[in-house]
């Protein structure tokens, strides 16, 4: 049977539950995923005085074809985008500035250093998101930045974050879609601290100063990202979930939940509805921790499905800003982007093909038997046939056929680097 024939049969099965598949696909087309640029070059960036990775970040593997220039990185992203259905965004870090061989300190970065990224985004009709880079720098060598006891170091990072927000606002204004600017810091201690409170007070004061410069939310939206622990900060992280959740709620900022930044038994899917009770919007970095925050490529696992379900069943597709954050240098990097992003979109489609109102009714009525029956039976409904049709309609390869295109790109482009 053809893709279209399979689709028609699957569509009829979902229609029995009042699920209008064509409307679902039209809605899915409008949901952007913010695809992280740093998968393509192993989080190296393009600073003239490039530093070794630090701040608890590590990338393993040496698969050939790593992007070594901004042009190569953009080319690789373009290739991935031809294999991913929908219209999406690109997430940049400050270390991806282009300074024409000049050493420009991070607190001196300006929109002009990202002009090539902006022009490229305009050409390909992409939104841009942004992150100040508070790691892999001499002023972060001791594991502290915005909470550092040395005011000069704190001030440097404050200026960097302020500069980043201005760059982001420039993107938002030029592209006509607001940029999400997310602040994550590695600050913490390897062993048990004797003072947990003072660093958090310093972090709060630093954030207050950063955000004291008002920027129109039509151009820039601010988010803060927590972490449980990292390499070198196993015992204590200043910017914990509780710290940033409180800060975001009190200061009208977005709380960004990274799926790798919690205890192994904590599920971010379970946090989404709790946050939406108190926040109009929240942000995600979808990753895949394996035993720890290891940033594996996102797969179509139970937690990813549950994240999609929580977003969709709570009518939050316009409330949750979805971004990705993983990096794997042991496999083809373009394939990693493609796998992870397609899976994130799959999770949303899977969720959109569920009879949520009926399931909510069953829960309210206490009919947990039928609820469980339907949850289990829908796992084997012909979701794949709908996904194949969606890919075909969006002009991207169906099923694993996209891998052939990546292999050709590897042979013709990546292997020549």
| Active site amino acids | 184, 225, 227, 258, 261, 285, 293, 295, 325
CB atoms within 10 A of CB 78: 14
Please return the burial class of 277, using the count of CB atoms within 10 Å of its CB with bins 0-12, 13-18 and 19+.
Answer: exposed
- Provide the CA 374 distance to its chain's centre, in angstroms: 31
Residue 382 tokens read as: 């012909």
Helix runs in 212-332, H state only: 241-251, 268-278, 302-313
- Residue 290, sorted as left (phi over 0), alpha (psi -120 to 50) or beta, turns out to be beta
Three-state secondary-structure class, residue 124: helix
Give the residue among 194, 190, 197, 168 at the shortest CA–CA distance from 180.
Answer: 168
238 close to 187: Cβ distance less than 8 angstroms: yes
Cβ-proximal residues to 388 (8 Å cutoff; 6+ apart), any chain: 3, 6, 7, 398, 399
């Amino acid at each position: 049977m053809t893709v279209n024939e399979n689709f028609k049969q699957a569509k009829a099965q979902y229609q029995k539950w009042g699920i209008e598949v064509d409307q679902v696909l039209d809605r899915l087309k409008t949901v952007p995923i913010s695809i992280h640029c740093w998968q393509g070059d192993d989080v190296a960036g393009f600073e003239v005085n490039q530093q070794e990775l630090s701040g608890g970040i590590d990338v393993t593997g040496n698969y050939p074809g790593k992007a070594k220039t901004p042009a190569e990185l953009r080319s690789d992203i373009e290739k991935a985008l031809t294999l991913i259905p929908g219209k999406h965004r690109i997430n940049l870090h400050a270390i991806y500035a282009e300074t024409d061989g000049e050493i420009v300190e991070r607190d001196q970065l300006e929109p002009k250093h990202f002009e090539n990224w902006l022009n490229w985004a305009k050409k390909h009709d992409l939104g841009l998101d942004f992150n100040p880079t508070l790691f892999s720098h001499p002023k972060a060598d001791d594991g502290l930045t915005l909470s550092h006891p040395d005011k000069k170091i704190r001030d440097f990072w404050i200026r960097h974050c302020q500069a980043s927000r201005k760059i982001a606002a420039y993107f938002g204004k030029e592209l006509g879609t607001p940029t999400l600017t997310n602040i994550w810091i590695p600050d913490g201690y390897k062993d048990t601290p004797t003072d947990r409170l003072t660093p958090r007070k310093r972090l709060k004061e630093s954030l207050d100063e950063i955000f004291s410069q008002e920027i129109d939310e039509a151009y820039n939206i601010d988010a803060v990202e927590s972490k449980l622990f990292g390499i070198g900060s196993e015992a204590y992280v200043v910017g914990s979930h509780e710290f940033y959740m409180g800060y975001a709620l009190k200061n009208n900022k977005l709380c960004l939940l990274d799926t790798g930044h919690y205890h192994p038994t904590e599920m971010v899917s379970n946090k989404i509805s709790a946050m939406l009770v108190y926040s109009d919007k929240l942000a995600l970095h979808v990753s895949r921790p394996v035993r720890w925050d290891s940033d594996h490529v996102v797969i179509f696992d139970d937690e990813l499905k549950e994240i999609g379900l929580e977003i969709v069943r709570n009518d939050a597709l316009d409330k949750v800003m979805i971004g990705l954050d993983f990096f794997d240098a042991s496999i083809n990097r373009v394939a990693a982007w493609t796998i992870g992003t397609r899976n994130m979109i799959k999770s949303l489609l899977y969720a959109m093909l569920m009879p949520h109102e009926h399931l909510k009714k069953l829960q309210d009525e206490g009919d947990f038997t039928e609820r469980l029956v339907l949850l289990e039976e829908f796992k084997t409904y012909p979701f794949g046939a709908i996904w194949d049709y969606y890919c075909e309609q969006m002009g991207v390869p169906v099923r694993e056929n996209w891998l052939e295109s990546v292999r050709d790109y590897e042979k013709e482009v990546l292997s020549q680097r």
